[in-house]
Amino acid sequence: TIVILDFGAQYTQLIARRVREFNVFSVVLPCTASLESIRAQNPIGIILSGGPSSVYDADAPKADPAVLKFGLPTLGICYGMQFMAHHLGGKVTPADKREYGDAVVDVKKTNKLFAGLPAKLDVWMSHGDSVVELPAGFVIAGETHNAISSIADEKRNMYAVQWHPEVAHSKQGTELLKNFVLNICGAKADWTPAHFITSTVEAIKKQVGDGHAICALSGGVDSAVAAVLVSRAIGDRLTCIFVNNGVLRKNEFEQVQNNMRKKLGLKVVAVDASKRFLSQLGGITDPETKRKIIGREFITVFDDEAARILADQEKNGELQHDAAGNEIAWLVQGTLYPDVIESSSVKGPSQTIKSHHNVGGLPENMKLKLIEPLRDLFKDEVRRVGRDLGMPEEVLERQPFPGPGLAVRIVGEITPERVEILQNADDIVVSEIKKAGLYKQIWQSFAVLLPVKSVGVMGDQRTYAYTCAVRAVHSDDGMTADWVPLPYEVLKTISSRIVNEVRGINRVVYDITSKPPGTIEWE
Ligand code: XMP
C-alpha cells in the first residue's frame, strides 16, 4: 500500500487515483492519522500531499513528524515538501513571489525520481512558501528561476517536489509518480479489477456467511456493481429492490428490471409506487419540497418492501442470529471511496455523506448490518470492475441521473401528463445524442420541461403549448460544468423531432449556461 497523508489540498484524491492507475493500491489518510493507523496499512511508501497552509501557521495541519523516521521511501508534494524540509532541520520562508501556474524546472541533479525525464520539466505550481535551506543529507534536485523546487536524499529514499505532479498540466508528472511508486517503493502492480473482484467476493462470503442481504437499485452504475459483487458471493440470498417513483425516464422501469434480471442475473423485486409518488407530488412547485417528498416516500416504500421480504425470510427460519439471539440481515450500499475520504478528511465531514439508514417496520430484535463493497474504489475503478464482471456497457456508461429523477426537470407542477411529455422529449434528446456518437463524452444530456406556454403554428392550426429546454454539459465531477456546443445538425434534429413527435411541446430552446452560475439541473 502507498499511504497518502492528506494535508488538505484539493488534489489529494487525484494523487491516489494516479497511483491506482499504475495498478497499485493507495489509501488517503488524514495527516492527523496516528502512527499505528498508518503502520496498520502496511505501507511500502508515503506521499505527503499539498495543502493550503504555511508550515508556520498556528492552525497548519499537523502530522506526527515521526512519520519521516519510518525509514520508508517518502515523497513530499508542495506543502509536503515544506513539511519535510521544516521537520528534518531545513528552513522554509514565505517567497518574494508566489509561484502559480505553469513553470519550468531545471533538473540540477538527477536521481531515481527523475529517471528517464528530460533536463527541463514542465510543471504546474501553486505555492507561497519556499524551502530556502536544506536539511542535512539533502541536495537540490531542481530549481526554477525563483526558487528551489525539488530536494532529495537518495540514501534515505526521501524526495520532494514543490509542484503538483498529479495534475495533468505537469507534463512529466505521471512518469515521476510512476518512478516513485514502482521503482523507488518497488510496488507490485497487482491492484487489478480481477484481483479486487476475487478478494472482495471472498471477503463478502466470509462476512455474510449463510446470511441474507437486501439492496436498493437505482438503475445507476454504483448500486448495480455493488449488487453484482454481492450476488457473486451469496447468489440469490441477495434480494434487490427497485422502486418506480413515477419520475423515471421513458421505459426505464422495464429496462432496468430487464438489465438487472436477464443480463446481470440479479433477483429483483420491482415495486411500482408511481401512483403514490405522483399523488404526493400533486400541486407542489417548490424544488426543495419536491426533493423532500421523493426522499421521504422512497424511504417509506423501500422500508416496507424490505421489512416484508425480511419478515418472510424470518418466518422461513432463513435469517442468521447474533450472539445475543438477534436476527441479522445485511444491507448493501454503493458508498464510494471519495465519500469515505470526505468523512474522515481534515476539512471535516461534508454534508454529502450517506448515513446508514435503518429499515423501519422491522421487529425490535432484527439488526441490519451494512456491506459497502465499493468503499475502496473511485468511480472510474467501479466502471473497470463492472467491465471485468462482464456487465453491459449500457449500465456502465450511463450518464448520472439524479435520485429525484425527472421531478427536478419539470419546472412547476408535476402531473402524470407533464411527466409523459418530458419522458418523450427526453427520450428523443438522449437517442439523438447517442446516434451522433456523443453520449459517452458528455457528462449529462437531457430535456427540461418549462411551465411556459407560447403560441405556435402547425399546419393551419394555431397551437399553444409548452416549451422544452435542451441541456448538455461537460463535467468531471458535477461540481462545475461547461455547456456543450452541440453540432447544429444534432440540435436541429432534436428540435424538429420534439415539436413533431411530442404532443404538448411546440417550442425548443437550448440552455447555454455553465456551472457556476447555473446548476446542471434546473431545480
Ligand atoms: P446540480 O444541479 O446541483 O447537480 O448542478 C450536480 C449533479 O448532481 C445531480 N443531482 C442530484 N443527484 N439527488 C441526486 O442523486 C439529487 O437530489 C440531485 N440533485 C442534483 C445532478 O444530476 C448533477 O449530476
Alpha-helix runs per DSSP H in 273-410: 274-281, 287-315, 337-343, 379-388, 393-396
Residues whose CB is less than 8 angstroms from the CB of residue 199 and which lie 6 or more positions away in sequence, other chains included: none
Alpha-helix runs per DSSP H in 52-108: 79-87
In a domain, 520, yes or no: no
Does 68 share its domain with 7? yes
In a domain, 408, yes or no: no
Q: What is the CATH number of the domain that holds 311?
A: 3.40.50.620
Q: What is the pLDDT of residue 171?
A: 94
Instruction: State in Å, rounded, how far the first CA of the chain is from the last one.
Output: 42
Distance CA 471, CA 359 (A): 37
Does 28 share its domain with 165? yes
Could you give the ipTM of this predicted complex? 0.98
Residue 93, all three cell numbers: 520562508
Does 306 share its domain with 429? no
In a domain, 518, yes or no: no
Selection from 464, 465, 470 nearest residue 486 by Cα? 470
In a domain, 115, yes or no: yes
In a domain, 72, yes or no: yes
Does 128 share its domain with 237? no
In a domain, 365, yes or no: yes
- Is residue 435 within 8 A of residue 428, CB to CB? The reply is no
Distance CA 41, CA 502 (A): 57
Around 368, how many Cα atoms within 13 Å sit in the side-chain half-sphere?
21
- Three-class secondary structure of residue 56 per DSSP: coil
Does 61 share its domain with 110? yes
Distance CA 441, CA 371 (A): 32
Binding residues for ATP: 218-224
Distance set, CA 311 to CA 102, 211, 265, 352, 363 (Å):
62, 14, 24, 32, 8
Ligand 1 centroid distance, CA of 46 (Å): 35
User: Which of 330, 361, 396 finishes a domain?
Assistant: 396
Q: What is the pLDDT of residue 478?
A: 85
In a domain, 19, yes or no: yes
Distance CA 344, CA 165 (A): 24
Q: What is the pLDDT of residue 238?
A: 97
- Is residue 43 within 8 A of residue 3, CB to CB? The reply is yes
- Three-class secondary structure of residue 158 per DSSP: strand
Q: What is the pLDDT of residue 354?
A: 35
26-30 vs 2-6, strand pairing mode: parallel
Selection from 438, 411, 446, 414 nearest residue 520 by Cα? 446
Q: Could you confirm whether 31 is annotated as catalytic?
A: no
Does 11 share its domain with 67? yes
Selection from 102, 106, 101 nearest residue 144 by Cα? 106
| pTM for the structure as a whole | 0.85
Q: For each of the chain's 523 residues, which pLDDT tens digit applies?
A: 999 999 988 889 899 999 999 999 999 999 999 999 999 999 999 999 999 888 888 888 889 999 999 999 999 999 999 999 999 999 999 877 788 899 999 999 999 999 999 999 999 999 889 999 999 999 999 999 989 999 999 999 999 999 999 998 899 999 999 999 999 999 999 999 999 999 999 999 999 999 999 999 999 999 999 999 999 999 999 999 999 999 999 999 999 999 999 999 999 999 999 999 999 999 999 999 999 999 999 999 999 999 999 999 989 999 989 888 888 899 999 999 888 887 777 654 433 333 344 556 666 777 889 999 999 999 889 999 999 999 999 999 999 999 999 999 999 999 999 999 999 999 999 999 999 999 999 999 999 999 999 999 988 999 999 999 999 999 988 888 999 999 999 999 999 999 999 999 999 999 999 999 999 999 9
Q: What is the pLDDT of residue 97?
A: 75
Does 374 share its domain with 457? no
Distance CA 253, CA 242 (A): 8
User: Which of 184, 219, 240 finishes a domain?
Assistant: 184
Does 296 share its domain with 382? yes
Ligand 1 centroid distance, CA of 521 (Å): 7
Distance CA 138, CA 134 (A): 6
User: Which of 336, 368, 396 finishes a domain?
Assistant: 396
Nearest CA to ligand 1 atom 18: 402
Which atom of ligand 1 is found nearest the CA of 521?
Answer: 2
Does 242 share its domain with 330? yes
Which atom of ligand 1 is found nearest the CA of 523?
Answer: 2
Domain extent at residue 106: 2-184
Query: CA 472 from chain center: how many Å?
Result: 20
Which atom of ligand 1 is found nearest the CA of 518?
Answer: 5
Q: What is the pLDDT of residue 353?
A: 31
Using CB distances shorter than 6 Å, the residues near ligand 1 are: 291, 400, 402-404, 408, 444, 478, 515, 519-521
Does 117 share its domain with 237? no
Q: What is the pLDDT of residue 430?
A: 98
Does 218 share its domain with 355? yes
Mutate to test the pocket of ligand 1, among 245, 248, 520, 522 (most ligand atoms within 8 A of CB): 520
Does 20 share its domain with 136? yes
In a domain, 402, yes or no: no
Q: What is the CATH number of the domain that holds 499?
A: 3.30.300.10
Angle between helices 221-234 and 193-208 (to 10 degrees): 60
Give the chain's domain count: 3
Q: What is the CATH number of the domain that holds 150?
A: 3.40.50.880
